Amino acid sequence: MKAAYYERQGKASEVLRLGEFPVTQPGAGEVRVRIHASGLNPSDIKARTGFSGGMSFPLVVPHQDGAGVIDAVGTGVDSARIGERVWLFEAQYLRAFGTAAEFVVVPSQQAVSLPDNVSYEVGACLGVPALTAHRCLFADGEIKGRAVLVHGGAGAVGTAAILLAKWAGAWVATTVSTPGQADAARRAGADVVIDRWREDVTTVVKAATGQRGVDRIVDVSVKENLEIDIGCLANGGVISAYAMGASDDQLSVNLLRAMIAGCGFRFVYIYTVPFTAKSAAISAISQCLAEGAYCPTIGLHLPLDAIVAAHEAQESGQVIGKIIIN
Predicted local distance difference test score (pLDDT) of residue 249? 77
Over residues 15-41, mean pLDDT: 97
Using 50, 70 and 90 to split pLDDT, how confident is the model at 247? low
Closest CA to 233 of 254, 216, 251, 257: 216
Q: What are 209-220's pLDDT values in tens digits?
A: 999 999 999 999
158: alpha, beta or left? (left if phi > 0; alpha if psi -120 to 50): alpha
Alpha-carbon distance 13 to 48, whole Å? 11
pLDDT digits (tens, 9 = 90+) for 199-209: 999 999 999 99
Report, as an integer, the average pLDDT of 14-20: 98
Per the prediction, the chain carries an average pLDDT of 96
> How far apart (Å, rounded) are the C-alpha atoms in residues 311 and 209?
39
Can you tell me the distance from the alpha carbon of 215 to that of 172, in angstroms, rounded to the nearest whole number?
Answer: 10
Mean pLDDT score, 178-188: 96
Query: Which pLDDT belongs to residue 309?
Result: 98
3 state SS of 257: helix
**Is residue 245 predicted with pLDDT exceeding 80?**
no
Domains of the chain: 2-125+296-325 (3.90.180.10), 128-271 (3.90.180.10)
Average pLDDT (111-118) is: 96
188 has a pLDDT exceeding 90: yes
Q: Is the pTM of this model over 0.85?
A: yes
